[in-house]
Amino acid sequence: MKLSSAMSRLGTETAFEVLVRARALEARGKDVVHLEIGEPDFDTPRNIIEAGCEALQSGWTHYGPSAGLPDLREAIASYLNRSRGTSYSADNIIVTPGGKPIMFFVILALLEPGDEAIYPNPGFPIYESMINFTGAKAVPSPIRESNEFALDVDELEGLITPNTKLLIINSPGNPTSGVLTGADIERIAELAVKHDLIVLSDEIYSEIIYEGEHVSIATMPGMAERTIVLDGFSKTYAMTGWRLGYGAMPVDFAGQINKLMVNSVSCTSVAVQRAGIEALEGPQDDVRAMVAAFRARRDIMVEGLNAIPGVSCLNPKGAFYVFPNISGTGKSSREFADSLLEEHGVAALAGTSFGKHGEGYLRLSYANSEENLRKALDRIRCAAEQARG
Ligand code: PLP
């Protein structure tokens, strides 16, 4: 089949490929510790599962409004307003099957050849992939360990040109878990207003934060009308497989994104949306317990990694990833990740899976049991010792 040229510019998410390779090794009898996939290992809280089952039993089995159920849009707006201090109403919210379609739709709706979009690198691979898909220029904003894996605002300013239309930020970030400070967010907002940029703020890890409070750029002066907040239920409520996310944006723009919903998936599963209402309005104890467990695991990982010669690791303030520097092993990210998987039985992602500025790093998701994390640390130590000779 002769594909459109845009298809040749579309990238992918390596995590799923590594998972397939790891499963193939397991099928041949190899024991593999999975640190590649970015999803909580916890089950969805019981009350949410029950709300989903109850919705199906009571007839929530039909199409729903493409922008989302009014009750859920309302619940999302009030959640954002109380957690971030925004002033959204249901009209600002579009519900989607996962948070990812918000990135897909927003980039598709805004960019065309001649435009430039700045995105974090290393960063979630779909940003770069989708910018390239539209034919716009993808301009990486390097996320550096020397800046504690937060976007460097001075460097960002130098990347803005008259063609820059969109800026993507992600805090807490994937893959580095870097967190932007309130002061950084303020300065980024000033740049966005000054240069008339639209900001896609990916806040999917906003509830998984260990120090300080999450600050949304949407709350900064002049930003509500130029910000799209992406968030969802996958990470906070361990609901990756349900596919439920949303965007909060200016009302006119929400109408445009709704057109993309109508032209693609029609609507998000209504039973899943009913479960989403329970997630936001029901007890939050499971979320707190999950974050506490992640924090304990983070400590195990950071301490364990820093004790391995040739490896060093910053202490992340959010999300559930560590991004250790493995350059002291003498191996490239890809070589080290491949040997970890094939010889030592640890599925990890090369930092370069998240962009060229990820060279010298690995991304390890610690959404796994403490026992497995300790096993992985022993294996990483063996791999590092072997690499260093
Ligand atoms: N944004 C970031 C930074 C992510 O890491 C992910 C998932 O890994 C998503 C968005 C999308 O999540 P979902 O589509 O499951 O809501």
Q: Which of 127, 235, 349 to mutate to test the pocket of ligand 1 (most atoms within 8 A of CB)?
A: 235
Q: Say if residue 12's pLDDT is above 90.
A: no
**Nearest one of 141, 163, 167 to 220, comparing CA atoms:** 167
Which two tokens mark 307? Answer: 């004790």
Per-residue model confidence (pLDDT) at position 389: 85
Mean per-residue pLDDT of the chain:
97
Q: Say if residue 15's pLDDT is above 90.
A: no
**Nearest one of 101, 80, 100, 105 to 90, comparing CA atoms:** 80
Give residue 376 CA to ligand 1 midpoint distance, Å. Answer: 24
3-class state of residue 231 by DSSP: strand
Give the tens place of pLDDT for each residue, 82-132: 999 999 999 999 999 999 999 999 999 999 999 999 999 999 999 999 999
Per-residue model confidence (pLDDT) at position 250: 98
Nearest-atom number in ligand 1 for the CA of 101 is: 14
Q: Which of 170, 234, 239, 321 to mutate to test the pocket of ligand 1 (most atoms within 8 A of CB)?
A: 234
Which two tokens mark 162? Answer: 């008259």
Per-residue model confidence (pLDDT) at position 300: 98
Tell which wins on pLDDT, 358 or 212: 358
Give residue 38 CA to ligand 1 midpoint distance, Å. Answer: 8
Domains of the chain: 5-44+285-388 (3.90.1150.10), 46-281 (3.40.640.10)
Q: How confident is the model at residue 244 (pLDDT cuts 50, 70, 90)?
A: very high
Instruction: Please give the backbone phi and psi of residue 107, each rounded to the nearest 5 degrees, phi first.
Output: -65, -40
Q: How far is CA 57 from the centre of its chain?
A: 33
Q: How confident is the model at residue 235 (pLDDT cuts 50, 70, 90)?
A: very high
Q: Which of 151, 174, 206, 268 to mutate to test the pocket of ligand 1 (most atoms within 8 A of CB)?
A: 174
Nearest-atom number in ligand 1 for the CA of 170 is: 3
- Whether 301 and 135 have beta carbons less than 8 Å apart is answered as no
Tell me the pTM.
Answer: 0.97
- DSSP per-residue letters across 308-357: STT-B----SBSSEE--B-GGGTS-HHHHHHHIIIII-EE-EEGGGG-GG
Per-residue model confidence (pLDDT) at position 13: 84
Mean pLDDT, to the nearest integer, of 364-375? 96
Give the tens place of pLDDT for each residue, 309-354: 999 999 999 999 999 999 999 999 999 999 999 999 999 999 999 9
Give the tens place of pLDDT for each residue, 274-300: 999 999 999 999 999 999 999 999 999
Which two tokens mark 90? Answer: 């249901």
Residue 234 Cβ < 6 Å to ligand 1: yes
Residue 204 Cβ < 6 Å to ligand 1: yes
Q: How confident is the model at residue 16 (pLDDT cuts 50, 70, 90)?
A: confident
Q: How far is CA 215 from the centre of its chain?
A: 16
Distances (CA, A) of 28 to 22, 23, 346, 379: 10, 9, 15, 19
